[in-house]
Amino acid sequence: MAFKIGNLTIENQIILAPMAGVSNSPFRILTRQYGAGLVFAEMVSDKGLLYENDKTKKLLYMTDIEKPMAQQIFGSDLITMVKAAKYIDEHSNCDIIDINMGCPVPKVAIKAQAGASLMKNPDLIYHIVNEIVKTVSKPVTVKIRSGWDHQSINAVDVAKRIEQAGASAITVHARTRSQGYGGHADLDVIKAVKQAVNIPVIGNGDVTDGPSAKHMLDYTGCDAVMIGRGALGNPWIFREIHQYLKDGTIIPRPTHQEIQEMMLKHLDSLVELKGEHVAVLEMRSHGPWYLKGIDHASELRKQLSTARTKEEFKVYVEAFFNAHP
């Protein structure tokens, strides 16, 4: 089912989450090809953009094939966040500007007082969102958590402020910052946010297949589901969820040959974008994710963790799958 974020029509209810080191252009293209209705780029630092940091600016790279696409920014300073959003509005090919108010990692949430740390300051959230909305031409969305910890679950109040500030949609990761990625997502929080606001609500947390996606949509009434860790090494998840939501069919898992082909395709596209050295380093993470649930793959995981060249990576992968067709 299609829904709208601002004037932008999103063709279905399945969305790729912004994940650092993962949601880059090659992976976004893969997930769009397998049915993601909208993809989020990995977050960029407001100050990194303003200081013209090369590494940060490279993260803005995107192609038309990936659209519709959202670019996420993080920071905690009102002035620099507005300037960074304006920079993205003017220099990025994205369709949506998303503000990160949910990242739990200490470097962001504690050291930079950004990400999930903003959940402790609803007034600042309102002002950041409101000023960005007034400054940019693209729709503005916000990704939040349930709250900072279990004593301060305030997603509903924060969501109301975000809507009042003019945002076009809200994503709710239904865990607190103190939970990190542990425990279970609390779907009642997403449900409460959906009932409290009139803009689209995207649910995030523990969606790993068709049945869990349908359960979140049905139980919470949210407009779409966001897939994060469930997509690691598994771009097929978007196809699987799309089919399940359509008619209840559970598509068989990809064959070993499909997995082998996807790993090498992913490697090739990363090499094209980032060069061989960086691509192989990134595939040291992606490779083991693709192998999850495959018997006898422990040796290949070790080999991939030491691969230094594209050719070495390919030799390891092809030898394993030839032995385990």
In three state form, how does the secondary structure of 59-94 look?
Answer: CCCCCHHHCCEEEEEECCCHHHHHHHHHHHHHHCCC
For residue 214, the surrounding DSSP H or E stretch is helix 210-220
User: Checking phi first, is residue 123 left (phi over 0); if not, alpha (psi -120 to 50) or beta?
Assistant: alpha
Q: How far apart are CA 34 and CA 28, in angstroms?
A: 10
Answer yes or no: are the C-beta atoms of 123 and 162 closer than 8 Å: no
Name the nearest CA neighbour of 81 among 59, 97, 57: 97
Selected catalytic residue, list 36, 103, 192, 241: 103
E strands of the chain, at which residues? Answer: 3-5, 8-10, 14-16, 38-40, 44-45, 69-74, 96-101, 140-147, 169-176, 201-204, 224-227
CB atoms inside a 10 Å sphere around CB 304: 24
Q: How far apart are CA 205 and CA 244, in angstroms?
A: 18
Q: Which residues contact 153 (CB under 8 A, 6 or more apart)?
A: 146, 147, 176, 189
Answer yes or no: are the C-beta atoms of 177 and 149 closer than 8 Å: yes
Answer yes or no: are the C-beta atoms of 141 and 169 closer than 8 Å: yes
Does 68 sit behind a cis peptide bond, omega within 30 degrees of 0 on the bond before it? Answer: yes
222 is catalytic: no
Q: How far apart are CA 26 and CA 114, in angstroms?
A: 27
What type of residue sits at position 90?
E
Catalytic residue ranges: 103
